[in-house]
Amino acid sequence: MNYPPMPSFQIRTNEDELMDDFSITDTRLTSALEQLRLVNRWLGGYSTTMAAIAPFLRSRVGQTTRILDLGTGIADFPEYIVQWAGAQFPTLDVEIVAVDANPVTVDYARTALKQRLPEAAAAKIQVEVADALALPYADDSFDIAMGAMFLHHFAEVNAIAIVQAMQRVSCHGIVINDLHRHPLAYYGIYALTHLLPASPMMQNDGPLSVLRGFQKSELTAIAEAAGLQNFSLRSYFPFRWLLTTVTA
């Protein structure tokens, strides 16, 4: 396997990922969406997000918690949260609105949820087409607004606007799980996507996602520019950032 030349990690790249090209609607997209589920399961996606969400949900026994998930993709994070909540004792009640700007992705997510979840669990997730930069929801419509592996798709000015929108629609805080831009993360995902049977989109977008990821100072600047109060920013293995204002 031939590794690419060492890129610069000093600043975020502005090169678009293939997944951001909405003209791609065939199996290149759907295969990558399915493979992202495995990435999130085995490379810290779910566990990082749940580090903030699980304690909050446990503090709300007997209450329904409404969650907005931005850039939901195949809606695997909502699927995971609903399954986790249903497995707790006592059972925790959640309702999740999962949004994505790509109508093809939304249709695929709806079908996938019906196939993977029992009817009662799937009914707890509503998948909608929506633009994160123009959210069609009233202030404080949700308890939590979350974005997992989503914010790095945007340049700083739009990332700030999205964080502000997340604050606006959530009454108990926001949860952002995203990538730490680091050489080991870059070459690690490059190796995994070329040694394992990854789709061409995953081979392209996996390493590129890292280059679009963040240094701690960059996420801190976005949080401060968005006016977040009392936020925490912690690193999680492997090469993940968790930015949140949610407390149990």
* Spatial distance between the Cα atoms of 238 and 222, rounded to a whole number of angstroms: 22
Distance of alpha carbon 181 from the chain centroid: 16
Tell me whether residue 207 is exposed, middle or buried, using C-beta atoms within 10 angstroms of its C-beta: 0 to 12, 13 to 18, 19 or more: buried
Compute the residue count for the chain: 248
pLDDT tens digits, 30-63: 999 999 998 899 888 999 999 999 999 999 999 9
Model confidence at 196, pLDDT cuts 50, 70, 90, reads: confident
Average pLDDT over residues 229-242: 96
Query: Is there a cis peptide before residue 90, judged by omega within 30 degrees of 0?
Result: yes
The overall longest dimension of the chain from CA atoms, in Å, is 54
- Residue 64 has phi, psi (to 5 degrees) of -90, 130
Say whether pLDDT at 9 is over 80: yes
Distance of alpha carbon 132 from the chain centroid: 12
Say whether pLDDT at 1 is over 70: no
Nearest CA among 168, 160, 25 for reference residue 105:
25
- Sketch out the chain's domains with CATH numbers: 22-181+215-244 (3.40.50.150)
* Spatial distance between the Cα atoms of 43 and 37, rounded to a whole number of angstroms: 10
For strands 174-179 and 144-148, give the pairing. Answer: parallel
pLDDT of residue 248: 78
pLDDT tens digits, 55-99: 999 999 999 999 999 999 999 999 999 999 999 999 999 999 999
* Spatial distance between the Cα atoms of 159 and 132, rounded to a whole number of angstroms: 10
Q: Which of 43-47, 120-124, 206-210 has the lowest average pLDDT?
A: 43-47
